[in-house]
Structure 1
Amino acid sequence: MKANARDIRTALERASPDYRLYLLHGPDASTAAELASLLGIAMGADAERVDLDGAALKNDPARLADEAASMSLFGGARYIRVSGIGEESAEAIATLLAADRAGNPVVAIAPTAKATGKIVKLAIDSRAALAFACYEPSTADAERIAAGIARDHGLRATNDAARRIAAAAGNDRAIMLREIEKLAIFLDAAPDRPADLDDIAIDAVGADLGEAEQTRLVEAFIDGHSAILGQELDRAAEAGTSPIPWLRAIARRLLALAEMRSDIDAGGAVDAVLKRHRVFFREEAATTRALRRWSAPMLARALDRVRQAERDVMAPGNAGTILADRAVAEVARGVERRG
């Protein structure tokens, strides 16, 4: 069945036994990951979590249903989390929904799945599943979200401050939350002792990455030019900039390529796909080169890695930009080796 934001959150928070599958599809992987974490909380800290991905389900479509029906090794609660799935997992999803029993709930994140795709249709048509579309908020919505999160933390954000936070986080709710938590600590703010959040406070905590530098970094990552990427990462580190903007820029580029890759894998001609997705003519050569180099599974895995790096960087007590640098460098080296 199709779910709205309230329905999916309520069902995940309760680990509702009415549903054996929660399908979180759409490009906002951060929101999907945040929702997926609710199931883990509902299942309990001692629950056994089984992690699968699209490649595993493609090679063994029956495995998802088998895992959903299996008992925990320790006799406690058990659930399955699947990341990076797409249409290649349609048979696995169909098998799960048609199984006689499936006592362990499944939450699946499908960032490249289209609303009209087969796996989404399977979930919507089943009373044992909930499908929720995760889309990034508009700029205006993101600014309102930033202001609301700030208010919850005792911060009175100016319009400019809310705009800068949303932009720096790439409109990512989870990253906005982490950034605002740091600002609240810096300003010693809380709901019972509110403080003003303005540009001065944001400047004191972090700086923005210039667009030109960001573009060069993204291009080096997508092309698998490790040496150039290293130079750009060094420049960003020397400038003291947050890695969040360029991580979000890489994620947007990967999502755009994934959508085009899906169309090509479905039989579309490259030139026609580029026109359909309105690729700027000066970027056509680079985009064509990237589509030849990146497969759908590679794009899904890279997107997962970049999104995880975002969350790691914003987590309390993290290792700073080292986490982001390492994540993108390892992916870029893999692309470089592939040639």
Structure 2
Amino acid sequence: MKADRKRLGEALDRPDPAIRFYLFHGDDGSTSRALADRLLKGCAAEKAPLAAAELRSDPARLVDEAQAIGLFGGARLLWIEPAGEECAAAVTALLDAPAAESATVAIAGKLRKGSALLKLAEGAKTALAHVSYEPSARDADQAILALAASVGLRIRPDVARRVAQATNADPLVARQELTKFALYLDATPGAPKDLGHDTVDAVGVDASEGEGSRAVDLALTGSTVALVAELDRLEAGSLEAISLLRALQRRLLLLAPLHARVQGGESVDSVLATQKRTLFWRDFDAIAPMLRLWNADKLAQLGERLAQLECNLMLQPIPTDASLGEEIVAIARAAARR
């Protein structure tokens, strides 16, 4: 049966013993995996992985494993990841079996409408199916707010958005980050504390890379005035030149294959439309103007200049930000002229 979205959390935290098969599927694999982890905790069980390929060649094995008692007598959750149509015969046998000692969870990607696996999960009273859609910016922020509250953190919307961006809205990574912030602030659900930008600056994951990415985007879109202000702000902090250079190089590596498609005749919008599963939502507004401003030759020249600059920085006894700062402002001015 299809999961009731409003009661999904309850269904995972206090699993119904009658449910023997859970299917989490859809574009957002990180959310599906987080839901499966939540189910694992709800079952107070040990994770018992099964390979989908093995079930294809031996469909009866799933029933055997589900009816077996754990070696040490504890609960088990059979875990199939990634799952696909090759599991359908095994799941059919599981749902037809008279009983099951252990529940099974399958994590699948996007399934077609006529998927046999999906029909089995949605059609059986002893199964639960949930589709994980890619979160919108608002959904990602709301998820961070809920996770923060669960570990004892009070968090403003702007801070929630920053955490969502830093973790790519991955629920597992976000929970780890927020738990770390809670430990740092000595916060608990019973004694909540405020999470601010200062704490994220101090102990946040990849804080310097996140900071550098903002400067990079300003440079490649020709926002010279805003870039100079951003560089002044970063200079007052602890961002290293190499970190900023790495962020710029990563952006060029992302742009190169996308621009090749634009140069081949596709529109910028159509190219970006195919990247919804690989690009984080916050990047779309920045990438579109970059693809329009820079051509393949200029991107190649920029890559060569950055490689030479990296060599120069690495050869300096104490790398300084001055030469990179000059280069990144020159990039912004070049973009502004296009």
What TM-score range do you get, normalising by the shorter chain? 0.5 to 0.7
Residue aligning to 1:150: 148
Of the three residues 222, 229, 243, the one matched with 1:239 is 243
Kindly indicate whether the alpha-carbon contact (under 8 Å) linking 1:22 and 1:108 is maintained by their aligned counterparts in 2: yes
Task: Count matched residues.
Answer: 231
1:118-175 CA distance string (max 9 Å, x none): 2111111112211111223211121122234334444443332111111111112232
AA at the equivalent of 2:178:
I
Q: Distance in 1 between matches of 2:273 and 2:12?
A: 44
AA at the equivalent of 1:143:
D
Identity fraction in percent: 40
Residue aligning to 2:23: 23
Larger deviation, residues 11-20 vs 134-143: 11-20
Equivalence map 1:83-162=2 (5 Å)? 83-114=81-112, 116-162=114-160
Kindly indicate whether the alpha-carbon contact (under 8 Å) linking 1:153 and 1:181 is maintained by their aligned counterparts in 2: yes
1:254-288 CA distance string (max 9 Å, x none): xxxxxxxxxxxxxxxxxxxx99x9545999xxxxx
Q: CA deviation at 1:212?
A: 10
1:290-317 CA distance string (max 9 Å, x none): xxxxxxxxxxxxxxxxxxxxxxxxxxxx
Residue aligning to 1:55: 53
Please state if 1:164 is matched with 2:162.
yes
Q: TM (normalized to structure 2)?
A: 0.56
Equivalence map 1:41-80=2 (5 Å)? 41-44=41-44, 49-80=47-78
Kindly indicate whether the alpha-carbon contact (under 8 Å) linking 1:48 and 1:72 is maintained by their aligned counterparts in 2: no
Q: Distance in 2 between matches of 1:41 and 1:282?
A: 35
Equivalence map 1:1-339=2 (5 Å)? 1-44=1-44, 49-114=47-112, 116-191=114-189, 194-206=192-204, 207=207, 208-209=209-210, 239=243, 278-279=270-271
Q: CA deviation at 1:52?
A: 0.5
Please say which structure displays the higher CA radius of gyration: 2
Q: CA deviation at 1:59?
A: 2.5
AA at the equivalent of 1:13:
D
Q: Which SS does the other structure have where 1:167 is aligned?
A: helix
Unaligned runs of 5+ in 1: 215-235, 251-273, 284-339
1:31-54 CA distance string (max 9 Å, x none): 32333234433444xx55431122
Q: Distance in 1 between matches of 2:200 and 2:149?
A: 16
1:220-255 CA distance string (max 9 Å, x none): xxxxxxxxxxxxxxxx996399x9xx9xxx9xxxxx
